[in-house]
Amino acid sequence: MNAPKQPAPLIDLCRRVADRTAVIGIFGMGYVGLPLALRYSEMGFPVIGFDVDDSKIARLQSGGSYIEHIGAARVAAAVANGLEATTDMSRAAEADALMLCVPTPLNRYREPDLRFVLGTVESVASHLRSGQVVSLESTTYPGTTEEELVPRIENQGLTVGRDIFVVYSPEREDPGNADYPTERIPKVVGGITPACTEAGLALYGAAVDHVVPVSSTRTAEMTKLLENIQRAVNIGLVNELKLVCDRMGIDIFEVVKAAATKPFGFTPYYPGPGIGGHCIPIDPFYLTWKAREYGVHTRFIELAGEINARMPNFVVDKVADSLNRRGLPLKESRLLILGIAYKPNVDDMRESPSIALMERLREKGAILAYSDPHVPAFPKMREHSFDLQSTVLDAATLEVFDAVILATDHTSFDYDLIRDHARLIIDTRGRFQESLPHVVKA
């Protein structure tokens, strides 16, 4: 039986990708889009980076970086190699590949907020043409690509799978993880049609070491959700056990460490003051929202989310109780937060549990400062505001504060200095294993 004939626009697109003349357009020059743009530039492709943030575009055009783990020299080399950055969405017509790496947050009701995805699609819709491949990388619920992107694209008179090709390929970037740069992270690709999948495989196969085809965009969308829901649920479980162990006078970190010695059947997850990053606190709720359309109530996922969201309150209670035992009220106590990035050794603040912790402490009247070598000044954020600069740690500074709260355990912190000079340490990360009277596990 003869294989179905490939449409001419697909053949032309794959040829341009193969000879690296295809123009790669990436929308969203953040923690996902910028590494992707640099990778394609380094592979010899002409790349256009799109963003609505003028300051990012100016920084890129000058060969600079605004992401700590991405060196300016790498950006400058890409710019010298032809990488362009622009806010002009009409230039989407020049691109053979349009890759959407824009945020997918939740709204105030913990429901999917697709305004950045749909706004991007609508801003480029009139510039779409035959022979392009459109890839959505932003994490979202199953059905988004098929239900939201395809109709808007076909409204331009293009037939998906014949004239233009649409795929979903979830981003899997792990900021600051030097062991897994963009090219070493396998890419899952699902297309609206088999021809779309072929286009996606050609596109990503040119820049990534291993590409994993799946049967549909819905499967690819669900794959990303499963990856992050698994982590959210397991972190929720260990956070709940942390609450139980605290009541029982058991060190949960010692428990996890001991359990991890089992060479099979156990994967260690560690508790903390909450969960952060652009994936784990948000992605599970994309599925819970969509599942309701099918009459399914995802109780397990929602319970994990509730537990994880409660953890900053647990830490606040620990701070208040610990201060009270020293005859100090939480109100007007001077508190130093150690680490405000969402995980160690990066400058990424997205959904950081440190922010929720700081807001609750501020509401209680505490006087706050923070120290984070990766975040020299508290950044401008859509929903959070602190007019603070990072405090340099030394013995005299530590001794000024009524308590220090270890929220994110950066390896660059001098833990001996902190242990020896802080009056009171609230340790949410299990970094201080010694049994010391001024160290409280939270």
Instruction: Tell me the sheet residues that pair with 25.
Output: 48, 98
Q: Give SS3 for 117.
A: helix
Distance between CA atoms of 438 and 424, rounded to whole angstroms?
5
Distance between CA atoms of 430 and 406, rounded to whole angstroms?
9
Cα distances (angstroms) measured from residue 153 to each of 27, 80, 133:
16, 33, 11
Distance between CA atoms of 212 and 227, rounded to whole angstroms?
15
Contacts 24+ apart (CB under 8 A), 158-162: 158/128, 158/129, 158/130, 160/192, 160/193, 160/196, 161/7, 161/191, 161/192, 161/193, 161/194, 161/195, 161/196, 162/7, 162/9, 162/195
Give Cβ neighbours of residue 75 (< 8 Å, ≥ 6 apart).
Answer: 34, 38, 60, 63, 64, 65, 83
Distance between CA atoms of 70 and 79, rounded to whole angstroms?
14
Closest CA to 101 of 130, 138, 69: 138
Distance between CA atoms of 152 and 172, rounded to whole angstroms?
26
* C-beta atoms surrounding 180 within 10 Å: 12
How many residues appear in the chain?
442
Distance between CA atoms of 214 and 101, rounded to whole angstroms?
20
* C-beta atoms surrounding 204 within 10 Å: 24
CB 221, CB 141: distance < 8 Å: yes
CB 217, CB 168: distance < 8 Å: yes
CB 71, CB 65: distance < 8 Å: yes
CA angle 300, 304, 305 (to 5 degrees): 115
Is 196 noted as a catalytic residue in this protein? Answer: no
What string of H, E and C letters represents the secondary structure of 233-260? Answer: HHHHHHHHHHHHHHHHCCCHHHHHHHHC
Instruction: Find the catalytic residue in 14, 101, 245, 279.
Output: 279
Enumerate the active-site residues: 279
